[in-house]
Amino acid sequence: MPDNPAEAPASDDRPRESDAPAAEAAGLAVGTVFLKPKKARPFFGRHPWVLDSAVLRIEGNPQPGDVVDLATHDGNFVARGLFNPESRIRVRLYAFDAAEKLDDAFWRKRIERAISLRKTLGFDDRSGAARLINSEGDDLSGLIVDRFADWLCVQFTARAMHCRVELICDILEETVRPAGILLRSTERGLGKLEGLHITDGLVRGRLPNGPVFINEHGLQFGVDLSEGQKTGFYLDQRDNRQAAARFAGGRRVLDMFCYSGGFSIACAKAGAASVLAVDGSAKATALAEANAGLNGAASVSVETSDAFKKLDALASAGERFGMVILDPPKFARSRSTLDEALRAYHRVNRQGVDLLEPGGILVTCSCSGVVSRDDFLMMLSGVAQRSGRSISILECRGAADDHPVSVSCLDGEYLTCVIARVV
Ligand code: SAH
């Protein structure tokens, strides 16, 4: 494999301008994307996504993954980024200084900067897991890297970034020294969105023999990387599990959408009277079962059921809980489905609140980026109104701190976790 994928792209055999490879290897632009008049403001504000609708014209013949300059309609430099003609995000921006080249040294420095933040945050314990690179939150739009003990899972959400897969793996190998690197596409529809077609699997080193075990706040979880489990492990909820567990002592807990049992096991170990963990996927409940066993969390019982049906059945049977945890999958994939998603959140939260005894604790989450914190709280206010219950927010939380969010790209803030008391 070439050292520099920009010189000889690994992912596609595209035809190139004769002088393009040299310019590209030096990290210089091979073309310029001019913005329509009055469209430059977000990019002076360092927003990294240049949508096709903002583009006036393109000079040169940039190919997918090539370095381009972004300029105002009258030719003033704005920023430097990577081009993808197949994405609505036509250019992703990485540098806002004309002197900064997007060469190998640049990517190395950016990746090292992200990894050094995790050291600062205390994630250098190799028995644990951490998100090492969080896309826009680390000024590396389109690249996500999670470390599970000694293994790295790399997720590309941008084709232009994927054009540099060999370079990125080289840098990750040198800086992290993992036992293996796996590619994993957890985002759906990348073929259509980005023209990106990835085969998941091992790209460097070796596969683990069975699940990789990680330590999270003193608890053990098995994470199945070799099976290609699409969802892996929800590292973003790490601290929310611990925050929820603080309220679990002595309570009967319902963990709806439990996946591999993160919230359930944390609550059981914090002294919950009992925990019912429910997920619609048999694979998920098998993981939850195994993880409960691994931690000696005997008070956890696991069930495979559809959440909406199970919530109804529990209500009909007159069951009551001291704590209800709701962590459903993303209900809204785009702005056009926002209203529909808010109705679904209302419905599931109403069902959850109806199962809570007076003074019970509701832990309710949304991982839909288009549902803002305000939208989510308004939805809960609707639930309070309809159910006639008083709901008070104790904590309003986001993703764990190894998932930083750039203030220039608040689109990266997708997770809301509200802990509330319901009387
Ligand atoms: N709380 C978990 C993460 C939940 S992810 C943790 O801390 O790790 C969302 C989960 O919802 C997935 O495991 C998925 O299998 C489950 N799910 C999706 N639709 C469902 C449905 N209709 N009923 C029950 N579970 C469902």
Centroid of ligand 1 to alpha carbon of 364 (angstroms): 13
Residue nearest to atom 24 of ligand 1 (CA): 280
Q: What is the pLDDT of residue 193?
A: 84
Centroid of ligand 1 to alpha carbon of 395 (angstroms): 22
How sure is the predictor about 188, in pLDDT bands with cuts at 50, 70 and 90? low
Residue-wise pLDDT for 268-298, tens only, equals 999 999 999 999 999 999 999 999 999 999 9
Residue nearest to atom 1 of ligand 1 (CA): 258
Determine how many CB atoms are found less than 10 A away from the CB of residue 121.
13
How sure is the predictor about 24, in pLDDT bands with cuts at 50, 70 and 90? low
Q: Are 386 and 350 in contact (CB under 8 A)?
A: yes
Domains defined for the chain, CATH in brackets: 5-95 (2.30.130.10), 104-205 (3.30.750.80), 234-422 (3.40.50.150)
Closest C-alpha to 164, from 76, 90, 64: 64
Residue nearest to atom 9 of ligand 1 (CA): 329
- Ligand 1 probe mutation, 214, 279, 331, most atoms within 8 A of CB: 279
DSSP state of 189: T
In which element (H, E) is residue 69 found? strand 67-71
Is the pLDDT higher at 116 or at 28?
116
Residue nearest to atom 10 of ligand 1 (CA): 257
Catalytic residue among 367, 396, 409, 417: 367
Centroid of ligand 1 to alpha carbon of 162 (angstroms): 29
User: Euclidean distance between the first and final Cα of the chain, in Å?
Assistant: 62
Ligand 1 pocket, residues with Cβ under 6 angstroms: 234, 237, 257-260, 262-263, 279-281, 284, 306-307, 327-329
Residue-wise pLDDT for 394-413, tens only, equals 999 999 999 999 999 998 99
Centroid of ligand 1 to alpha carbon of 255 (angstroms): 10
Structure tokens given for 144: 């996500």
Ligand 1 atom closest to the Cα of residue 307 is 23
Ligand 1 atom closest to the Cα of residue 283 is 15
Average model confidence (pLDDT) across the chain: 92
Position 231 pLDDT exceeds 80: no
Our answer to whether residue 367 is catalytic in this structure is yes
Mean of the pLDDT values across residues 91-110? 97
Residue type, 28: L
Strand partners, 419: 363, 395
Q: CA geometry: angle at 132 spanning 130 and 138, to 5°? A: 135
